[in-house]
Amino acid sequence: YLFLPVFVKRMAIEQVQQQTGRKLDIGEVSFSPFSLALTATNVRLYEADQKTSALAVQELRVNLSMTSVFHRALVLDEFYLTAPDVHLVRYSATQHSRYNVSDVLDKIAAAPKSDAPLRFSVANIQISKGTIVFDDQVFGKQFKLTDFR
């Protein structure tokens, strides 16, 4: 478990870059083997330009359940986000509207599909001090949802 934080950080950064073409930064990653809690701080996913932040999270914490072993599925007892900052931009309003995340969604949709379904369960989702900004460039308006819990 001592090397797990380094491994998780490296794999997350590599896989996000490979699967989405986006840059991911992660500050610190820690793991508690007693509570099975994995915590990542200062997580930032960038826009396609690799400079502008699309998603930033002060702290992301997941608590893995021991029942994952019995169910042969990913079971999270807790999923906690502190200060998520999401920036969504709409560029066009055609039949297939384009957003700042459209390239990521296109890559996910084009990826080969697995025959086996992903089995998972997430309980106790908590969000603290979040901000969502929706920048509608079609209408020239910006909508902000701040300090939600």
Strands (E) in the chain, as ranges, are 24-25, 29-32, 37-46, 53-64, 74-82, 85-92, 98-99, 120-122, 125-128, 130-136, 141-148
CB burial string 87-116: b at 16+ within 10 A, e below: bebbeeeeeeebbbbbebeeeeeeeeeeee
User: Tens of pLDDT along 21-34?
Assistant: 999 999 999 999 99
pLDDT at 67: 87
Instruction: Identify the residue with better confidence: 148 or 50.
Output: 50
pLDDT above 90: residue 136? yes
User: Tens of pLDDT along 68-117?
Assistant: 888 888 899 999 999 999 999 999 888 778 999 999 999 988 888 888 88
User: Tens of pLDDT along 35-80?
Assistant: 999 999 999 999 999 999 999 999 999 999 988 888 888 899 999 9
Rounded to an integer, the average pLDDT of 115-122 is 86
